[in-house]
């Protein structure tokens, strides 16, 4: 931070430099949170604004800073004082003035704790925490609206899932099983993938019909492209006039699937090596799909239909993904051991079930050194192509004849494009184009 660097360069005594740095940071934190709280005074009564929050952060910093230099426990005294002050604020707001709310009181005590952290010599943690707190306070209305769109089933499913995860994670062994399957890492991957899918699921629930059924397919594909295609196809049976919209939604779900698989590869391998090798073929497939969508976009109708797909935090979908991931991880490793890269490529057929699980498993194997990154990326791309090829099958089974006839050729074109892109990219990597 430039201000702290300026203080360091003033040539002051180290004690004074230390104090000034903590003073500046605590002022910044208090002002940041206080400004957000002050903003709400324009619409409703808030009993703690920018001055109160700034002073509170300074109190926390000063109490901690002075602790080694005074003969009594000043930090304990100030903490008790802040606790009672926040209790009085809650009492005044809820009892005296007859309103409900704990946010300002809790935010005030939180700000005090951030000041304590600053006084202890921490800078990054309280600053990041202050930014996060301010964001949560600012996004009050969107967060409330998001919560309203969650059903009791969604919340119950998420809590059950997290409860099971927190029970399983500590007890599973840290050592790899069969020298390939690390159960702790597998659980973390399932949690991360499910969390991302859940965020997209919330976005889909919140958006509802505002973006139209076609663009709902884009968000739904980030949760589960298979479930999205089935949901869209089911609508096509009873709303024949929406064939164009549903077709575009199905194509956008494919684009989402490609994006999701890239993200999953990055989650498993944060270096991004597998994802980078997957990107060119997926990018070409995505561009081909976008062109097909744009060609039909002008035929779309305004619609209020919405998608109904299950929460990815429900125990069923989450553990289904985890089980498929583990199965394909073991299969890919075994196939590679006995048949080399060809055996690993064969596991791409798992794209019929879940391209995401195949991508996660082969990326994990590449990260462990069991297979090359090139093999992992090519297998993941093949799984994405196979998954795209299965989409018309889902439409044929669950959708209308009109939708199947409309979507069959475009899906085949995307698949052919993906195959050619994969072959071209593979040849490019082998350097054949330079000979």
| Residue pLDDT, tens place only, 349-408 | 888 877 888 888 888 888 888 888 898 899 999 999 998 988 888 888 877 888 888 888
pLDDT at 434: 44
pLDDT on residue 338: 73
For tokens 């709280």, what's the residue? 37
What's the pLDDT score for residue 284? 94
Same domain, 265 and 127: no
**pLDDT tops 90 at residue 97:** no
CA torsion sign for 91, 93, 98, 101 is negative
CA distance 145 to 210: 14
* 3-state class percentages of the chain: helix first, strand second, coil last, to nearest 5: 80, 0, 20
Better-scored residue on pLDDT, 159 or 367: 367
Whether 133 and 154 share a structural domain? no
Mean pLDDT of all residues in the chain?
76
308 and 248 in a common domain: yes
Residues 35 and 164 occupy one common structural domain? no
The per-residue pLDDT for 209 is 47
Domain boundary among 118, 138, 158: 138
Please indicate, yes or no, if residue 144 is contained in any of the structural domains.
no
Point out the domain boundary residue: 108, 138, 168: 138
The stretches of 269-372 forming alpha helices (DSSP H) are: 273-296, 315-339, 341-346, 355-368
| Mean pLDDT within 165-174 | 65
Select, from the ranges 10-14, 100-104, 129-133, the one with the highest average predicted confidence (pLDDT).
129-133
* 11 and 49 together in one domain: yes
**149 has pLDDT over 80:** no
My answer on whether 83 and 213 are in the same domain is no
In a domain, 143, yes or no: no
Query: Which of 86, 110, 138 is where one domain is finished?
Result: 138
Q: pLDDT grade, residue 138 (50/70/90)?
A: confident
Question: Residue 96 falls within a domain, yes or no?
Answer: yes
Greater confidence, 313 or 347?
347
Instruction: In whole angstroms, give the CA distance from residue 338 to residue 328.
Output: 15
In a domain? residue 270: yes
Burial of 43 (0-12, 13-18, 19+ CB in 10 A): exposed
Report d(CA 69, CA 71) in Å as an integer.
7
Q: Is residue 145 a part of any domain in this protein?
A: no
> In angstroms, rounded to a whole number, what is the distance separating the alpha carbons of residues 417 and 402?
24
- Taking only the tens place, the pLDDT of each residue in 229-268 is 877 777 777 666 677 778 888 888 889 889 989 988 998 8
The region of weakest confidence among 195-204, 239-248, 419-428 is 195-204
Instruction: Flag whether the pTM goes above 0.75.
Output: no
* Same domain, yes or no: 269 and 370: yes
Domain that holds residue 76: 2-138
Q: What is the pLDDT of residue 408?
A: 87
The burial class, CB within 10 Å (0-12 / 13-18 / 19+), for 420 is: middle
Contact 210, 300 (CB under 8 A): no
Provide the token pair at 265.
Answer: 């590869």
Average the pLDDT over 31-42 and give the result. Answer: 74
Residue 184 lies in a domain: yes
CB 312 within 8 A of CB 318: yes
Do 223 and 83 sit in the same domain of this protein? no
Q: What is the pLDDT of residue 279?
A: 92
Q: Percentage of the chain surpassing pLDDT 90?
A: 10
The answer to whether residues 380 and 248 touch, using CB atoms and an 8 Å cutoff, is: no
Taking 90 as the threshold, does the pLDDT of residue 156 lie above it? no
Instruction: Name the token pair of 176.
Output: 């790899």
Q: 99 and 158: one domain?
A: no
Kindly state whether residues 298 and 426 are assigned to the same domain: yes
Stronger pLDDT, 65 or 143, i.e. the higher one? 65
Number of domains composing the chain: 2
Is residue 359 domain-resident?
yes
Dihedral, CA of residue 327, residue 332, residue 337 and residue 343, to nearest 10: 130
Region 83-94 average pLDDT: 78
- Asked if pLDDT for residue 83 goes beyond 50, the answer is yes
pLDDT at 3: 58
Structure tokens at 364: 């994990």
The tokens of 287 are what?
A: 């561009």
Q: Which two tokens stand for residue 167?
A: 């029970």
Bridge partners of residue 181, in order along the sequence: 177
Same domain, 252 and 161: yes
Q: How confident is the model at residue 184, as a pLDDT?
A: 64
Identify the residue with better confidence: 145 or 109. Answer: 109
pLDDT range class, residue 171, cuts 50, 70, 90: low
Q: Which residues contact residue 7 at a Cβ distance below 8 angstroms, ignoring those fewer than 6 apart? A: 17, 20, 21, 24
Q: How far apart are the first and last CA of the chain?
A: 52
**Which range among 130-139, 187-196, 321-330, 419-428 shows the weakest confidence by mean pLDDT?**
187-196
The answer to whether residues 413 and 295 belong to one domain is yes
Q: Is residue 10 part of a domain?
A: yes
Structure tokens at 387: 């998954």
């Amino acid at each position: 931070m430039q201000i702290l660097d300026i203080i360091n360069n003033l040539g002051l005594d180290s004690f004074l430099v230390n104090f000034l740095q903590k003073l500046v940071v605590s002022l910044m934190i208090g002002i940041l949170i206080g400004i957000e709280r002050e903003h709400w005074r324009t619409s409703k009564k808030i009993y703690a604004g920018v001055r109160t929050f700034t002073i509170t952060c300074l109190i926390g910093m000063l109490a901690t800073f002075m602790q080694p230099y005074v003969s009594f426990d000043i930090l304990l005294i100030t903490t008790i004082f802040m606790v009672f002050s926040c209790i009085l604020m809650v009492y005044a707001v809820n009892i005296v003035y007859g309103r409900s709310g704990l946010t300002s009181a809790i935010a005030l005590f939180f700000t005090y704790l951030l000041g304590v952290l600053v006084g202890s010599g921490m800078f990054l943690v309280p600053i990041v925490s202050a930014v996060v707190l301010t964001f949560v306070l600012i996004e009050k209305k969107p967060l409330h609206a998001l919560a309203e769109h969650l059903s009791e089933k969604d919340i119950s499913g998420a809590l059950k899932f997290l409860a099971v995860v927190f029970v399983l994670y500590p007890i599973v062994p840290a050592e790899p099983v069969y020298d390939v399957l690390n159960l702790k890492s597998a659980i973390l991957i399932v949690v991360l993938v499910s969390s991302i899918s859940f965020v997209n699921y919330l976005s889909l629930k919140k958006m509802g019909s505002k973006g139209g059924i076609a663009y709902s397919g884009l968000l739904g594909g980030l949760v589960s492209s298979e479930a999205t295609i089935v949901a869209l196809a089911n609508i096509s049976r009873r709303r024949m006039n929406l064939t164009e919209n549903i077709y575009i939604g199905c194509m956008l779900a494919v684009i989402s699937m490609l994006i999701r698989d890239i993200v999953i590869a990055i989650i498993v391998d944060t270096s991004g090596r597998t994802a980078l090798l997957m990107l060119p073929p997926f990018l070409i497939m995505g561009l081909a799909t976008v062109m097909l969508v744009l060609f039909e976009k002008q035929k779309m109708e305004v619609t209020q239909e919405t998608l109904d797909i299950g929460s990815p935090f429900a125990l069923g979908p989450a553990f289904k993904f985890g089980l498929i991931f583990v199965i394909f991880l073991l299969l890919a490793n075994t196939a590679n051991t006995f048949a080399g890269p060809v055996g690993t490529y064969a596991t791409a057929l798992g794209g019929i079930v879940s391209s995401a699980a195949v991508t996660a498993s082969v990326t994990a194997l590449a990260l462990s050194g069991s297979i090359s990154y090139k093999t992992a990326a090519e297998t993941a791309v093949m799984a994405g192509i196979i998954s795209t090829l299965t989409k018309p099958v889902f439409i044929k089974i669950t959708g209308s004849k009109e939708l199947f006839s409309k979507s069959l050729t475009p899906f085949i074109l995307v698949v052919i494009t993906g195959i050619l892109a994969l072959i071209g990219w593979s040849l490019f990597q082998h350097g054949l184009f330079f000979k």
